Amino acid sequence: MEPLNWVSAGNLLERSTGVGETKQASLAEQENREVIVVGGSAAGLFTAAKLARGGRAVRVLDSKPELDPAPRSLIVTHHFRNLLGPAAAASVKNEIRRFELFTDGRSAQIALRDPDLIIERARLIPALAEDARQHGAQFSYDTRFLSLGPNARALRLEVESGGQKEELHADQVIGADGATSRVARTAGWPPVETVPLVQAIVKLPADCPPDTTRVWFVPDDTPYFYWLIPENENRGALGIIGEGSGQETKKRIEQFLEKKGMTALEWQGARIPVYRKWIPVRRRIGNGEVFLVGDAAAQVKVSTVGGIVTGFRGAQGVADALLAGTRSTELRELRRELGTHWLIRRALHYFQQRDYSQLVDLLNDSTRESLGEINRDESTKLLWNVIRRQPRLVLLGLRGLLMGKRAQ
Ligand SMILES: Cc1cc2nc3c(=O)[nH]c(=O)nc-3n(C[C@H](O)[C@H](O)[C@H](O)COP(=O)(O)OP(=O)(O)OC[C@H]3O[C@@H](n4cnc5c(N)ncnc54)[C@H](O)[C@@H]3O)c2cc1C
């Protein structure tokens, strides 16, 4: 396997190799240096809170005028609770205990041993911000990051704050500014590919239990899938990931809603990153360092396009490395995880209707148990368990991969 293209937090480790005292001195030095986090959403705030907790001076910049996140329901695995601890409780508003998969008149059910959680983003973001603030992080809203470059000590940032251009200085900058990250662009990372995600908030159909997520595979409409995630017993979010333009994707979902007899109460949408290969999360610019976390580093599970938990894990990895000055195992594990999701997506991406029908038929009892038993954030384990119990799925997956090769 290719080594992580990332060694340590700055020259900290290089200077300390084999010399414990030098490392201690460097860590003490580090503590007084400011880290600027660009982007005060899930991944940025999680990183800021971890760094502030670890004693680093942290400033979070966000282009939004204030901390006022729009309400949005998100589905996450229960790993969310492990990462956030007791703070997670405030954002959880529903639990999902079952998945129902549909394709071409067939269906299969998968019961989850550990329920997925439906969380409210408008509660999560303020809770993360409060945690960071309590540990000393400073916040600058209405502050748009424009560019960065080296200065004598480390990094110089150009920002626009309240209509005025300003210069800021930092030793490390964390780009947590989403899929179209300007930090990534100005620091020289190549752009990340994105796909449109469109969601309609709908009245929950009477036959859909509030603890069950529905998934429809309709390969003529999308190589991904449609989903219906209940927010509570009355409302749910019906969504699609498309390819091409957001408008085409919206048209597809409108037709799907009509077929299902549902009406959109409101619309949500954005372009989200597609993970294709690991993006090294650190770059050195002059004497400074720039890191990427969350959507800015495409830390999104490409099989299901969930980015909250994986973005937290990327943030945790960067914070661990900055605080301890050592290579982070979290990033190595995240890389393996995202790679497995990419393999699954590549196998599914060229599936036709008959392949999905076969997939649902093959999901016999033991395989379904496997899927439900293991957290989707441990996808490598999940994949092996499924394959062990239903080897014919390997052939189906290989066929998908071969179809993908032919289509390229
Ligand atoms: C409709 C929708 C539904 C989704 N559903 C789910 C789901 O159910 N489960 C799941 O796990 N994931 C879901 N996702 C994906 C998830 O929301 C993202 O992966 C996650 O929000 C990424 O967080 P982030 O902090 O990396 O980036 P973002 O949330 O994109 O935050 C970027 C921040 O940077 C700020 N910013 C941007 N540019 C600048 C600049 N130049 N200067 C200063 N600040 C800047 C922005 O204002 C913003 O606050 C969904 C996404 C969408 C769009």
Q: What is the pLDDT of residue 393?
A: 57
Q: What is the pLDDT of residue 377?
A: 59
Number of Cβ within a 10 Å radius of residue 343: 17
Task: Tell whether the model's pLDDT for residue 20 goes beyond 60.
Answer: no
Distance between Cα 71 and ligand 1 center (Å):
13
Task: Check if 101 has its Cβ closer than 6 Å to any atom of ligand 1.
Answer: no
Tokens describing residue 233: 């017993």
d(CA 189, CA 296): 10
Q: What's the mean per-residue pLDDT of the chain?
A: 84
Task: Tell whether the model's pLDDT for residue 286 goes beyond 60.
Answer: yes
Domain boundaries, the chain: 12-68+122-192+274-328, 194-273, 342-407
Q: What is the pLDDT of residue 3?
A: 31
Mean pLDDT of 367-375: 59
DSSP string over 342-400: HHHHHHHHT--HHHHHHHHHH--HHHHHHHHHS-GGGHHHHHHHHHHH-THHHHHHHHH
d(CA 48, CA 281): 16
Mean pLDDT of 135-163: 95
Provide the pLDDT confidence category of residue 360 given band limits of 50, 70 and 90: confident
d(CA 389, CA 281): 36
Q: What is the pLDDT of residue 375?
A: 59
Distance between Cα 393 and ligand 1 center (Å):
34
Q: Are 184 and 295 in contact (CB under 8 A)?
A: no
- State pLDDT tens for residues 196-249: 999 999 999 999 999 999 999 999 999 889 999 999 999 999 999 998 899 999
Q: Which phi and psi (to 5°) does residue 288 adopt?
A: -105, 175
H or E stretch at 267: strand 266-273
Q: What is the pLDDT of residue 356?
A: 83
Percent of the chain scored above 90 by pLDDT?
Answer: 61
Closest-lying ligand 1 atom to the alpha carbon of residue 73: 8
Q: Which of 308, 301, 302, 273 is nearest to 192 (CA)?
A: 273
Percent of the chain scored above 70 by pLDDT?
Answer: 81
Distance between Cα 41 and ligand 1 center (Å):
6
Report which of residues 109 and 258 the model is more confident about.
Answer: 258
H or E stretch at 83: helix 79-84
Task: Check if 41 has its Cβ closer than 6 Å to any atom of ligand 1.
Answer: yes
Q: What sign for the dihedral angle of Cα 296, 298, 301, 306?
A: positive
Task: Check if 268 has its Cβ closer than 6 Å to any atom of ligand 1.
Answer: yes
Q: What is the pLDDT of residue 303?
A: 73
Provide the pLDDT confidence category of residue 402 given band limits of 50, 70 and 90: low
Task: Tell whether the model's pLDDT for residue 171 goes beyond 90.
Answer: yes
CATH superfamily of 194-273: D-Amino Acid Oxidase, subunit A, domain 2 (3.30.9.10)
SS3 category, 80? helix
What residue owns the CA closest to ligand 1's atom 16? Answer: 307
Place of tokens 């502050």: 143
Mean pLDDT of 339-344: 86
Task: Check if 42 has its Cβ closer than 6 Å to any atom of ligand 1.
Answer: yes
SS3 category, 92? strand
Task: Tell whether the model's pLDDT for residue 113 goes beyond 90.
Answer: no
Of 35-49, 154-168, 252-266, 389-403, which gets the smallest average pLDDT? 389-403
Task: Tell whether the model's pLDDT for residue 312 goes beyond 90.
Answer: yes
Fold held by 12-68+122-192+274-328: FAD/NAD(P)-binding domain (3.50.50)
Q: What is the pLDDT of residue 388?
A: 56
Tell how strand 164-170 and strand 92-103 pair up. Answer: unpaired
SS3 category, 180? coil
Tokens describing residue 395: 């052939």
- State pLDDT tens for residues 69-91: 888 889 998 899 999 988 788 99
H or E stretch at 119: strand 106-120
Provide the pLDDT confidence category of residue 26 given band limits of 50, 70 and 90: very low
Task: Check if 294 has its Cβ closer than 6 Å to any atom of ligand 1.
Answer: yes
Q: Which phi and psi (to 5°) does residue 144 adopt?
A: -95, 125
Mean pLDDT of 179-195: 96
Q: In what order do the strands lie in the sheet with 57-61?
A: 138-140, 57-61, 34-38, 172-175, 288-292, 282-285
Mean pLDDT of 336-347: 86
The amino acid at residue 150 is: P
Place of tokens 């929950």: 204
H or E stretch at 226: strand 226-230
Of 69-73, 105-109, 355-359, 360-364, which gets the smallest average pLDDT? 360-364
